[in-house]
A and B are shown apart, each in its own frame.
Chain A
Amino acid sequence: MPSLDNYKGQTPAWCPGCGNFSILKTFKDALVELGIEPHQFTIVSGIGQAGKFPHYLKCNTFNGLHGRTLPVATGIRLAKHEMLVIAVAGDGDCYGEGGNHLIHAIRRNINVKLFVHDNQIYGLTKGQASPTSMEGMVTKNQPFGVLSEQLNPLALAVALDCSFVARGFAGDTEHLKGLIKEAINHKGFTLVDILQPCVTFNKINTYEWYRQRVYHIEPDYNPEDRVEAFKRSLEWGDKIPIGVIYINNRPTFEDRVPVIKGVPLVRQTFDASKIENTLKEFY
C-alpha cells in the first residue's frame, strides 16, 4: 500500500497560502486512501499554476500545452485504457483556451478524471480576468471591470449530459477528498470544479468569501435528476453548492470503441503478415 511518503514530489513554486497547497495535500490523501501507487496512473496537465501540479506529487506526467490537457488525456486513454488518467487544469486553461476540447471530451464520455483548479483569475500571467471571473471584477487588464458574463462550467457540463459533475472547495479538504475519491471511482468522464482562492491576485473571491457562501449539497439530493441538477448548477451568489451535482452512468467512449474492447491498444501485437492479403485489394 502506498503512503504519503511515496507521493513526495518537487518543492512547489506556488505563493504561500495558495489554495493549490490544500488541493495537493488532499489529492495525495485521496490517492493513499484509494491505494493507488504513483506508477499506476498518469496526470496530464496544461499551463498555469495548476499545470505544475503533477510535478509536486509523484506520478507519470505529461505536462503539455495551455488548454490541451483533454486531447492528450484522450489519446492516452485510447492507447492504454487499463491506466487511470487524470487531467488537471486551471480555469483559464480548461474553460478558456481549451473550451472546445471540454465540450467534446464530455460528448465522448472518455473516462478521464478532470479536476479544474478554479481560482476565477489568471495567476501565472499575474492577475488578468479568467472565463469564471465575476462580472464587474476590475483587474489591471480589465480596467472597466469584466464585461462578459461569468462562465458557468457546471451548468455547461449538465447541459452536455456530462457523466459526473461536482464542485469542491479547497478550504473544505475532508469534503474535497470525498469528491476526488468518488470521481476517480466513477466510470466515465468526470468534471470536478474546485473553488481555489488565489491569495495574490483575486481579492474578491477569498477564503472568507467562499466560506460565507458554500454549503454541502444535502444527502437526500438525487444527482441523477438532470433538471434538478441544472437548477442546482445555476446557484451562485449568496449560496454556492458544493458536492456531486450530476451523475449519468452512460457507457464510456472506451467501451464503445470496438477495437479496444478486449485488450488495450498498447497490448495488441502488430501482425505484419496480414499486409500481403491487403495488397491483393489493389489488383
Chain B
Amino acid sequence: MDYSIKIGGEAGQGIQTIGDTLAKVFSRAGYYVFTHQDYESRIRGGHNFFQIRFSDKPVTASREKIDILIALDKESIEQHEKELSELGQIIYDSATLKQKHEKSYFLDIPFVTLAVEHGGNKIMANTVATGSVLGMLGMELDILLAIIKDTFKRKGADVIKANINAAMAGHDYAIKQCLKCAFSVAQISKPRMLIAGNDAIGLGAIASGCKFYAAYPMTPSTGIMLYVANKAREYGIVVEQAEDEIAAINMALGASFAGVRAMTGSSGGGFALMVEGLSLAAMTETPIVIALAQRPGPATGFPTRTEQAELQFALYTAHGEFPRVIFAPGTPEQAFYLTNKAFDIAEKYQIPVFILTDQYLADSQWTFDSLDLSKIKYTDYRLREEVFKNLPEYKRHAFTENGVSPLGVPGDAKHLVVTDSDEHDEKGHIVEDAETRIKMVNKRLFKKLPLLRKEIEPPSFYGHSDPEIVITGWGSTYGVMKEAVDELSSNWDIAMLHFSEIYPLPPTNKFNYLKVLKNAKMTICVENNATGQFARLIRTETGYSFNRLINKYDGRPFTVDGLTGELYALIR
C-alpha cells in the first residue's frame, strides 16, 4: 500500500491542522509518512496545499498521483482533479463550495452540517473531514480520538466531546456513503516518530546544549526559532527576537564570547545582513552556528517557496579569507545529527558552521524509528571557572600547534579575555605589523583547514554497487533522488551520491566518490537551482565535470515522477 492525500484550500481554512493531524494518525499507526507543504506568502486566501503520503514501506518523497483530495475550496478541484489516481476520490462540501459535482469520484460530505449537528459548532468541520478520510481508508478512529483528547486537553471536556462526536460523524458518513472507496490499509502497530526539518534543527540545537538563539523572523527559517522558543523555559535557553539580522548575529556572538553555545538563523535576504557578522565571527574566532534556510531569490523572490540557490552565497560570502564548514542535511534525521555536529565543530575549532536547508526540507515531515541520543556529542571546549583560574598565563589568540587557541570565559578568572575585529596579536590587541599578520592568518586558516577536512564525512552512496549512471545531489533532494534510483534501477545500473557535509568537500580517502563518478558512463548533477552551483563547486575543487545537469528553478521541489521523467529523457 502507498497512498497520497492532499488537502487543498485557502490560507486560514485549517489545511495545516488537518494535515498535521492525519500525518500523526498515520505515524502513530506505524506507517511510513512523508508530508510536504506548498503555501503562498499570505495569511488568508490564495491557494495552499498540504500533501501526505503514507505506506507500509519507507517513503522519502511525495508522489504526483493523489488518492484522496480534500477540497476546501473550488480552486483545489480545478488545480488538482487531474492528479487523481485510478482509485482516487475527491471529498468536498457542496454547501460550502456552492457547487455540486456529479462525476463518480466526487464524494459530497456535508462537513459543516455534520459539524453543527454533532459537534454543535461549524468550526469542527475540519474534524469531520479528518474523520471522513479515516472512514474512507477503513481505519479505526482510536488514534484520532486520542489525539483530539491531547490537543484539546486545556479546552475542557465539552470541547473534547464535541470534537470526538464530529470526528465520528465524518467517519460514519464516509463509511456509509463512499461506495467507491477501495482502499485497503496494512495492519502495523509500532508507532513511528514524525518530525519536520525545522523542528529537527531546533531539537538538535537543544540536544547540543545551545543556550542562546537570536534571530529575526524570516520564512522558512522561523520555525527553528519557534521550536527553540517553545522549549526555552524547560531547557533554560534565551531566545531573543532581534531588531534586525545584524543585531541577531552580533547578539549571538556576544553570548558565545561570554561562554554559552549560541546560534542564529535566517534565509537569504536576512542572512545577507549578517554577512559582516560572519566575518567578525571568523576574525574573533568566536564559535557560532548559523541555520540558513534557502528560498528563491534574488531579493524577496518567492518568500514561501523552495530553492537551493544559496550554496555559493554561503560558500563565498563575507570579506576576508577564513575557514567555514557547511552542512546540508537531506532529511530531518540528518538535520538533527548535523546540527549537533555543527555545534561541536564550531566550538572545537572556533569557527562559523552553517546548516543549509530550504523551505522544502524545513516544512517536510518524515517518519523515523527514533533518534539515537547516544550519537549526540557534547564536549565543552571552553575554559571555565577553576580550570581557567589555574592557568599560569592566558592569551586568547595564542599561537598553538593546531591553530586553536584557548577559549576562556571572560570574568571567570583574573586572566583577561581580549579579542578584536582588527588584526590582533596573541593577546587580542590591535597590531599593524606584517609578521604577526602572516602568523595569524596561518593560525586561523591554514592550520585549521586540514583538521576540518578530517572531520567531514563522505557522501552517502545508494543503488547499484558498480553503476553506469550516477545521479548526484546535496541537501533536500535526498529523498526524491533515492526514490528515483529505486524507480530506474530495474532499467539501468544506477546509483546516487548524496552530499550532506558539503564544505570543505569530503576527502576521498574514506570513500573515493570521484572514482565512482569517473567510472560511470553518465553522471548527472541534480539541483533545485538554475545554474548547478554544487556541480560548479565540485569542478572548482576537484576538476571533475558532470556530464549532465538537471536544474529546477520554478520555486517548487522536485517530485519523484518529475525527476524520473527527466532522467528517462536524458538517459535514453
Which chain A residues have a beta carbon within 8 Å of chain B's beta carbons?
10, 37-42, 44, 47, 52, 54-55, 58-65, 68, 70-80, 82-83, 100-101, 103-104, 257-260, 265-266, 268, 270-272, 274-276, 278-279, 282-283
Contacts of A270 in B (CB 8 A): 209, 211, 378
Q: Tell me whether B421 and A76 are in contact (CB under 8 A).
A: no
Q: Tell me whether B411 and A80 are in contact (CB under 8 A).
A: yes
With A65-B250, A71-B250, A82-B411 as contacts: A265 and B378 at CB distance below 8 Å: no
A-B contact pairs, 29 of them (CB 8 A): A10-B429, A39-B410, A39-B415, A42-B411, A44-B254, A58-B416, A61-B418, A62-B284, A63-B419, A68-B250, A71-B246, A71-B251, A72-B251, A72-B254, A74-B240, A75-B252, A75-B257, A76-B255, A78-B212, A80-B258, A83-B258, A103-B243, A260-B238, A265-B212, A265-B238, A266-B260, A268-B211, A268-B236, A278-B234
Q: Tell me whether A63 and B259 are in contact (CB under 8 A).
A: no
Name the residue on B nearest A42 (C-beta): B410
| 1/0 contact string of B319-356 vs chain A (CB within 8 Å) | 00000000000000000000000000000000000000
Question: Which of A59, A72, A265, A276 makes the CB contact (< 8 A) with B260?
Answer: A265
Q: How far is the CB of B205 from chain A (nearest CB, A)?
A: 11
| 1/0 contact string of B222-265 vs chain A (CB within 8 Å) | 00000000011111111010111011101111111111101000
| Residues in B191-214 with C-beta less than 8 Å from chain A | 191-195, 199, 203, 206-207, 209, 211-212, 214
Cβ-based interface call for B571 (8 A): no
Q: How far is the CB of A117 from chain B (nearest CB, A)?
A: 17
Given A47-B421, A55-B430, A79-B255; 17 other pairs, CB 8 A cutoff: A10-B429, A39-B411, A39-B413, A62-B284, A68-B246, A68-B276, A74-B240, A76-B255, A78-B212, A78-B255, A79-B238, A82-B411, A83-B258, A259-B237, A265-B236, A271-B235, A283-B191
Cβ-based interface call for B28 (8 A): yes
CA distance A224 to B236 in the complex (A): 36
Question: Which of B191, B212, B428 makes the CB contact (< 8 A) with A61?
Answer: B428
Name the residue on A nearest B243 (C-beta): A104
From B28, B199, B238, name the one whose CB has the most chain A CB atoms within 10 angstroms.
Answer: B238
With A68-B277, A83-B410 as contacts: A60 and B250 at CB distance below 8 Å: no
Cβ-based interface call for B376 (8 A): yes
Instruction: Count residues on chain B whose CB falls below 8 Å from chain A CBs.
Output: 67
CA distance A283 to B194 in the complex (A): 6
Contacts of A62 in B (CB 8 A): 254, 257, 284, 419
Q: Tell me whether B416 and A104 are in contact (CB under 8 A).
A: no
Q: Tell me whether A278 and B251 are in contact (CB under 8 A).
A: no
Cβ-based interface call for B554 (8 A): no
CA distance A52 to B432 in the complex (A): 14
Contacts of A103 in B (CB 8 A): 243
| 1/0 contact string of B408-428 vs chain A (CB within 8 Å) | 011101111111111000001
With A10-B429, A258-B233, A279-B370 as contacts: A60 and B247 at CB distance below 8 Å: no
Contacts of B254 in A (CB 8 A): 44, 62, 71-79
Cβ-based interface call for B69 (8 A): no
Q: Tell me whether A100 and B258 are in contact (CB under 8 A).
A: no
CA distance A13 to B471 in the complex (A): 59
CA distance A54 to B419 in the complex (A): 10
Contacts of B236 in A (CB 8 A): 259, 265, 268
Q: Tell me whether B418 and A75 are in contact (CB under 8 A).
A: no
CA distance A257 to B251 in the complex (A): 15
| Residues in B398-446 with C-beta less than 8 Å from chain A | 409-411, 413-422, 428-430
Q: How far is the CB of B208 from chain A (nearest CB, A)?
A: 9
Q: How far is the CB of A66 from chain B (nearest CB, A)?
A: 9
Name the residue on A nearest B249 (C-beta): A71
Cβ-based interface call for B37 (8 A): no
Q: Tell me whether B253 and A266 are in contact (CB under 8 A).
A: no
Q: Tell me whether A60 and B238 are in contact (CB under 8 A).
A: no
CA distance A80 to B199 in the complex (A): 27
Cβ-based interface call for B129 (8 A): no
Cβ-based interface call for B144 (8 A): no
Q: Tell me whether A65 and B247 are in contact (CB under 8 A).
A: no
Name the residue on B nearest A38 (C-beta): B416
With A75-B262, A79-B255, A272-B376 as contacts: A64 and B421 at CB distance below 8 Å: yes
Q: Tell me whether B242 and A71 are in contact (CB under 8 A).
A: yes
Q: How far is the CB of B85 from chain A (nearest CB, A)?
A: 29
- Please list the 10 inter-chain residue pairs (A to B) with the smallest Cβ-Cβ separation, ordered nearest first: A75-B254, A71-B250, A79-B258, A60-B410, A75-B251, A72-B254, A270-B209, A75-B255, A71-B247, A104-B243
Name the residue on B nearest A40 (C-beta): B411
CA distance A261 to B546 in the complex (A): 56
Question: Which of B191, B240, B373, B420 makes the CB contact (< 8 A) with A272?
Answer: B373
Q: How far is the CB of B467 from chain A (nearest CB, A)?
A: 35
Q: Tell me whether A75 and B420 are in contact (CB under 8 A).
A: no
Name the residue on B nearest A258 (C-beta): B233
Which chain B residues have a beta carbon within 8 Å of chain A's beta carbons?
27-28, 191-195, 199, 203, 206-207, 209, 211-212, 214, 231-238, 240, 242-244, 246-248, 250-260, 262, 276-277, 280, 284, 370-371, 373, 376, 378, 409-411, 413-422, 428-430
Contacts of B199 in A (CB 8 A): 282
Q: Tell me whether A104 and B247 are in contact (CB under 8 A).
A: yes
Q: Tell me whether A78 and B411 are in contact (CB under 8 A).
A: no
Q: How far is the CB of A228 from chain B (nearest CB, A)?
A: 29
Q: How far is the CB of A122 from chain B (nearest CB, A)?
A: 17
Contacts of A258 in B (CB 8 A): 233
Contacts of B420 in A (CB 8 A): 55, 61, 63
CA distance A79 to B252 in the complex (A): 10
CA distance A179 to B245 in the complex (A): 33
With A83-B410, A279-B371 as contacts: A59 and B416 at CB distance below 8 Å: yes
Question: Which of B212, B276, B277 makes the CB contact (< 8 A) with A79?
Answer: B212
Contacts of A72 in B (CB 8 A): 250-251, 253-254, 257
CA distance A65 to B253 in the complex (A): 12
Question: Which of B206, B233, B256, B421 makes the CB contact (< 8 A) with A278?
Answer: B206
Contacts of B244 in A (CB 8 A): 100
CA distance A70 to B195 in the complex (A): 37
Q: Tell me whether A63 and B421 are in contact (CB under 8 A).
A: yes
CA distance A42 to B253 in the complex (A): 14
Contacts of A41 in B (CB 8 A): 411
Q: How far is the CB of B22 from chain A (nearest CB, A)?
A: 15
Contacts of A71 in B (CB 8 A): 242, 246-248, 250-251, 254
Contacts of A276 in B (CB 8 A): 373
Contacts of B410 in A (CB 8 A): 39, 42, 60, 76, 80, 83
CA distance A74 to B257 in the complex (A): 11
Name the residue on A nearest B211 (C-beta): A265
Contacts of A266 in B (CB 8 A): 211, 258-260, 409
Contacts of B206 in A (CB 8 A): 275, 278
Q: Tell me whether B238 and A64 are in contact (CB under 8 A).
A: no
Q: Tell me whether A257 and B238 are in contact (CB under 8 A).
A: yes
Contacts of B259 in A (CB 8 A): 79-80, 266
Name the residue on B nearest A276 (C-beta): B373
Q: How far is the CB of B281 from chain A (nearest CB, A)?
A: 10
Q: How far is the CB of B296 from chain A (nearest CB, A)?
A: 27
Name the residue on B nearest A266 (C-beta): B259
CA distance A266 to B235 in the complex (A): 13
Contacts of A79 in B (CB 8 A): 211-212, 238, 254-256, 258-260, 262
Contacts of A78 in B (CB 8 A): 212, 238, 240, 251, 254-255
Contacts of A77 in B (CB 8 A): 254
Name the residue on B nearest A257 (C-beta): B238
Q: Tell me whether B235 and A274 are in contact (CB under 8 A).
A: yes
